[in-house]
Structure formats: C-alpha cells, structure tokens
C-alpha cells in the first residue's frame, strides 16, 4: 500500500512539474499566460528588469516590440524568480520559473 501511494505521489508531482503552463503569484493575484502586460503591471507592479528581445511584424509596416520581464517575488520567506515573455500584442506568451534567489 505504501508503495502504491508513493507511486501516485510521484506521478502527480511529475504531472505538475512538467506542465508548460505556469502561473505566477503576486500577493493575492495570479498572472497566467494570455494576460496583457497592463494586467501584469496592475497585479504585480513594476518588474525587477525589462529587456527588449526582438521585434514582431504582423502586417506590412506594423512593428511591435517583444519583451521579457524579470520578477523576483517573495513568498513564504523565499524569493522566487520568474521570467515573463510578452509577444508583440503585449500578451504573456511564456512564464518561466527560474528558481529561488539566495
């Protein structure tokens, strides 16, 4: 029975950790993929850093900036680092958890 429970726990852990869709908690707010950068700013405030990583061109003559924002968020006494990538429309396309900061 203990072996079965351990296997179930391991499978659930792998299912949670391999999911590519992450959420980032900012206090009581949650940021997810698809949120607009204005929603992220309202929920989390200014990022620790911003970087322009490219230009997206959807239509002829229409250019949009692609950005990455770094957030360091303290939760339960630990500083968690997240990298958010925004597409040319200003929507969160990817959230990467970078681990804890010492």
Burial class (CB in 10 A: 0-12, 13-18, 19+), 88: middle
Q: What is the pTM of this model?
A: 0.71
Sign of the dihedral through C-alpha 73, 78, 79, 84? negative
User: What is the pLDDT confidence band of residue 50, given thresholds at 50, 70 and 90?
Assistant: very high
Q: Is the dihedral of CA 6, 8, 11, 14 positive or negative?
A: negative
**Which residue segments constitute the domains of the chain, with CATH numbers given?**
23-101 (3.30.1450.10)
Confidence of residue 54 (pLDDT cuts 50, 70, 90): confident
Q: List, in order, residues 6 or more apart from 50 with CB less than 8 Å away.
A: 67, 68, 69, 70
pLDDT digits (tens, 9 = 90+) for 8-22: 655 555 544 445 568
pLDDT of 81 higher than 90: yes
């Amino acid at each position: 029975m203990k072996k079965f429970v351990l296997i179930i726990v391991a499978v659930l852990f792998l299912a949670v950790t391999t999911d590519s869709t992450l959420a980032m908690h900012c206090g009581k707010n949650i940021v997810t993929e698809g949120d607009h950068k204005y929603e992220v700013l309202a929920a989390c405030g200014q990022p620790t850093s911003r970087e322009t990583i490219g230009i997206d061109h959807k239509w002829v003559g229409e250019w949009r900036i692609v950005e990455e924002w770094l957030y360091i968020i303290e939760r339960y006494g630990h500083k968690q680092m997240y990298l958010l990538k925004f597409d040319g429309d200003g929507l969160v396309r990817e959230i990467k958890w970078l681990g804890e900061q010492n």
